[in-house]
Structure 1
Amino acid sequence: MRYATPLLLGLSLTCFGLVACGDSSADSGTADATETAGDGDGDPTGDGDGDPTGDGDGDPSGDGDPGDGDGDPGDGDGDPTGDGDGDGDGDGDGDPVSCQVWEITYDLVGSEFEISDTPLNAGNQNNVLQEPYDEDDHVGPGSFVLHFQDVDGQPGGKAFINEYDMVMNFVVDGTVTVTTDLINDAGPVACGVTSGDINGDSVFWEPPAIQGHHSQGTILCEGQLCGLGGFMNGVPEEVDEVTDHPIDTFTFTNDFSSFTMPPTVVQMDGNSTTRWNFVGTEVSRELVGAPACVCP
């Protein structure tokens, strides 16, 4: 039985610290031996500010702010936010903000990953996303981050899947024992890995897939019949693949605080069929800046 399932990838954030150093020395009130301007500040420019730039502002960069020469405080990017990315929105990502959208994060507790149609039904199993995650027939944690256009202060218009994360660690124990240990993810993608118009309480995604879905980890088969499924007995098979993961329509509650997706075939071959049935429950909601590609 061979199957590779959706994705979670550990995202790392890199923080950059920028330090601007200025001259902290104080004038003594008497002329420096090397200056000739006669203003008593210790520099030869004659402007009385104590730095050699001649601009009279007291910092050595010549721009009126301390040290970096760009005219804004401290980080050298030319915008006044101090985040160093140059786009002026303060988020450090370098992308220009054109509008605000609703970012809602959904926990996927209660979702189900079903394996069926295995030979002699020996590998059939329904895996539920719930704690404790280390139970043989449990998976998780998992989450979706969705962006919604802002319509009169509420989510509306169009929806975008910004990010998906899922841990798949479960064991199917039958004629052979198959241990799946995968970390799956997609995104974050500012313009969405997929998107769809909100039609009443439903969103049909176009394309109907989580694009760029990455699965990474191992599948381990133990038993004398592993070779029938293309596995070596007791040898973990590495998985590292990017696919478009099929999804179906999301149906939301009126306030977009939860959604469901009907059972959807993810993969089908001669050895098995796998399906996801997603259930999402809101855990956070906020307005965030977004690029033009998601704006009304």
Structure 2
Amino acid sequence: MRSRLGPSFLLGLPLLLVGVTACGDDSSTGDTAGDDSSGGNPMTSTNGSTTTPSMTDDGTGTDASDTNPPDTTTSEETDTAEETGTTTGLGDCQVWEITYDLEGSEFEISDTPFGAGDQVNVVTMPYDADDHVGPGTLVLRFQDVDGDPGGMAAMVSYDMSIHFVVDSGVTVVQTDLETDAGPDECGVTTGMLADTTVAWMPSAIVGHHSMGQILCTGMLCGAGGLPNGMPVPMDETSDQPISDFVFSDDLSSFNMEQTVIAMDANSTTAWTYTGTEVSREQVLGPACLCQ
């Protein structure tokens, strides 16, 4: 079980160390007793006496042992089909899946003490530059409306590499994180496309996960609650705030205005997203988008 630490920031670097409790499946499988079948003479009743076939008026014998339980094959097959449908969740429609490159997006840190940790980190190559982050991708699905994407939009997955360095001259903080959400075929969040805007509900990347570490070296590390020269592991799952996406007419690009994702007395952290289409295809939609 990981510990849960409260929000803390150094030079504007979020240390929202949200603990994750490992939970196992406590359910146990009970013993199943088999049916007790007897392999005796079918003409013998349970009390040991002999069963004699009865005669009808036309002399035709009716054997009591010919009476069989109802055939449940059809019912079992139906149940299996229903279970299969529930598992796959596939609907009977095609949806549009569009993948966007997040090149040009900005991860900004501001309002740090004396401005020592302020920095705008841009999603662009080379990704190993001190003030660059990325690459990042976002996958959206749209309902098909008369052959074009429209209607409901679902954010299927989000991925972003965040590796950057803030050097104030007296303290250096190196952040190395891999962040993601999904994939979820019904969307970690959804919204209706109205004109060229999608207002997400909820207005967050639900289940946003960050994993990696932060390393601080220098005289200001202690002031921010970080050990000097000792990596601090990060494993956080939270709902990252987002704002409306405004698309181009053909949905080949979008922009999201700067949105604060974390704030405290020591810093403000915000994302500005820019997306450019890299692929588009029609795929079999889940039932939740086939409405």
Same fold (TM over 0.5): yes
Does residue 146 (structure 1) correspond to residue 164 (structure 2)? The answer is no
Q: Which residue of 1 aligns with 2:93?
A: 99
2:121 pairs with 121, 127, 144, which one? 127
Q: Which residue of 2 aligns with 1:224?
A: 219
Q: In 1, distance between residues paired with 2:215 and 2:289?
A: 41
Is the helix fraction higher in 1 or 2?
Answer: 2
Aligned partner of 1:121: which letter?
A: G
Is the strand fraction higher in 1 or 2?
Answer: 2
1:114 and 1:276 in contact (8 A); partners too: yes
2:91 and 2:288 in contact (8 A); partners too: no
Q: Which residue of 2 aligns with 1:192?
A: 187
2:155 pairs with 152, 161, 171, which one? 161
Cα deviation per residue 1:16-46 (whole Å; 9 max; x = unaligned)?
xxxxxxxxxxxxxxxxxxxxxxxxxxxxxxx
Q: Which residue of 2 aligns with 1:183?
A: 178
The structure whose RCO (Cα within 8 Å, separation 6+) is larger is 2
Report deviation, 1:123: 0.3
Aligned partner of 2:92: which letter?
A: S
Does residue 287 (structure 1) correspond to residue 272 (structure 2)? The answer is no
Q: Which residue of 2 aligns with 1:3?
A: 14
Does residue 117 (structure 1) correspond to residue 111 (structure 2)? The answer is yes
Aligned partner of 2:224: which letter?
A: G
2:200 pairs with 192, 196, 205, which one? 205
Report deviation, 1:95: 3.6
Q: In 2, distance between residues paired with 1:186 and 1:269?
A: 24
Q: What is the TM-score when the length of structure 1 is the normalising length?
A: 0.70
Larger CA Rg, structure 1 vs 2 = 2
Correspondence 1:80-91 to 2 at 5 A: none
Q: In 2, distance between residues paired with 1:183 and 1:98?
A: 35
Report deviation, 1:97: 3.2
2:204 and 2:241 in contact (8 A); partners too: yes
Q: What is the TM-score when the length of structure 2 is the normalising length?
A: 0.71
Q: Which residue of 1 aligns with 2:253?
A: 258
Aligned partner of 1:251: which letter?
A: V
2:91 and 2:290 in contact (8 A); partners too: no
Report deviation, 1:290: 1.6
1:176 and 1:224 in contact (8 A); partners too: yes
Q: Which residue of 2 aligns with 1:9?
A: none
**Structure 1 residue ranges without an equivalent (≥5):** 6-77, 80-84, 88-92
1:271 pairs with 255, 266, 269, which one? 266
Cα deviation per residue 1:225-282 (whole Å; 9 max; x = unaligned)?
2010000001010000100000000000000000000000010011110110000000
Secondary structure (helix, strand or coil) at the match of 1:263 reads strand
